[in-house]
């Protein structure tokens, strides 16, 4: 039986926005999304703008999220941010395993699994990004890649913890390239992920976990993506930097 999942419209600012730009964004964005109470809206600013963003959004329902974290609470890890540091400024969400972390900074599935376990142990909700590269899709390996990425993380989790996860399916060939997966291609991957969760755990877990689509989402394509039965939200990079565009994405018509 399928369960109603609250849509999650998420922004990943990556390495963008100074404090002045962050203030300018929220001044323009917040009034545009004031009455959207049938969905969750989440924004992941860079670490330096998290505390200010928290202050600027305190009278709104916008959720704030870190873009990464280390798995240890403290130590000799120059340049890293710990779960305790994130929690201390009131942040309970983190993006983990983004393809830029995997492919530019060399994070492998074991590192990502350690980060996910640590986030959950600190009651921080992870958004786990998974997705295949273009050559893997062309070789027909998409499902195998997703399976390995899912198993390396969910294989370490109990059912109770698995329920707290959010997954973002982000085909690497669609990130920042302007090439969006068609709604059919995205739905196929999302349905595969949900059926994998159902086989690994059971259908109650599979029905609970939200699966977001990410990869060149824009105001013009968001509604057809959101109309797919297994797409529960979006994770948006480039188009989330503009308050006008991201408010149109976050406020899009959702029919299912």
> So which residues are the catalytic ones?
98, 170
Among 9, 12, 93, 210, binds ligand PEP (CB under 6 A): 12
CA-CA distances (angstroms) from residue 190 to 59, 90, 202, 207, 231? 34, 31, 16, 12, 7
Q: Which C-beta is closer to ligand PEP: that of 31 or that of 176? A: 176
Helix 183-200, helix 142-154: angle, nearest 10: 40
Q: Give the torsion sign (CA, 51, 8, 155, 160).
A: positive
How far apart CA 208 and CA 194 sit, in angstroms, is: 10
- Residues in contact with ligand PEP, total (CB under 6 A)? 13
Which value, to the nearest 10 degrees, does the dihedral of the CA atoms of residues 143, 124, 52, 19 take?
Answer: -30
The interface region with ligand PEP, picked from 42-50, 84-92, 115-123, 236-244 by CB under 6 A, is: 236-244
**Rama region for 14: left / alpha / beta (φ>0; ψ in -120 to 50; rest):** left
The alpha carbons of the chain give a radius of gyration, in whole angstroms, of 17
Residues shown for the chain: 256
Q: What's the closest the beta carbon of residue 240 comes to ligand PEP, in angstroms? A: 7
* Binding residues among 157-216 for ligand PEP as defined by CB under 6 A: 170, 175-176, 214-216
Nearer to ligand PEP, 209 or 222 (CB): 222
* 233 binding ligand PEP? (CB under 6 A): no
| Contact of 69 with 39, CB cutoff 8 Å | no
The Cα 191–Cα 189 span in angstroms is 5
The residue among 205 and 210 lying less far from ligand PEP, judged by its C-beta, is 210
- How many beta carbons lie within 10 A of that of residue 227, not counting itself? 15
Q: Which is nearer to ligand PEP, 83 or 214 (CB)?
A: 214
Closer residue to ligand PEP in complex, CB, 237/251: 237
- Contact range with ligand PEP by CB under 6 A, out of 114-122, 137-145, 194-202, 237-245: 237-245
Q: Does 56 bind ligand PEP (CB under 6 A)?
A: no
Shortest spacing between CB 129 and ligand PEP, in angstroms: 7
Position among 126, 237, 243, 251 found at the interface with ligand PEP (CB under 6 A): 237
238 touches ligand PEP by CB under 6 A: yes
Binding residues for ligand PEP, rule: CB under 6 A, are 12, 170, 175-176, 214-217, 235-239
């Amino acid at each position: 039986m399928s369960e109603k999942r609250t849509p999650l419209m998420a922004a990943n600012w990556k390495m963008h926005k100074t404090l002045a730009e962050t203030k300018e964004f929220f001044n323009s964005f917040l009034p545009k999304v004031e009455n959207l109470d049938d969905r969750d809206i989440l924004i992941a600013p860079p670490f330096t703008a998290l505390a200010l963003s928290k202050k600027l959004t305190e009278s709104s329902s916008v959720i704030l999220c870190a873009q990464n974290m280390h798995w240890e609470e403290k130590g000799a890890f120059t340049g890293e941010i710990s779960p305790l540091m994130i929690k201390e400024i009131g942040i309970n969400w983190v993006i983990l395993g983004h393809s830029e972390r995997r492919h530019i900074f060399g994070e492998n599935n074991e590192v990502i699994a350690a980060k996910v376990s640590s986030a959950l142990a600190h009651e921080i909700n992870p958004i786990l990004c998974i997705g295949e590269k273009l050559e893997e899709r062309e070789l027909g390996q998409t499902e195998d890649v997703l399976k390995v990425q899912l198993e390396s993380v969910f294989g370490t989790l109990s059912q109770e913890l698995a329920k707290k996860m959010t997954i973002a399916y982000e085909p690497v060939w669609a990130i920042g390239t302007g090439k969006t997966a068609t709604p059919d291609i995205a739905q196929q991957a999302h349905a595969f992920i949900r059926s994998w969760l159902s086989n690994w755990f059971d259908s109650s877990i599979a029905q609970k976990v939200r699966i977001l689509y990410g990869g060149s989402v824009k105001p013009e394509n968001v509604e057809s993506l959101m109309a797919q039965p297994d797409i529960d939200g979006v994770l948006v990079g480039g188009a989330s930097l503009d308050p006008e565009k991201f408010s149109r994405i976050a406020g899009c018509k959702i029919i299912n």
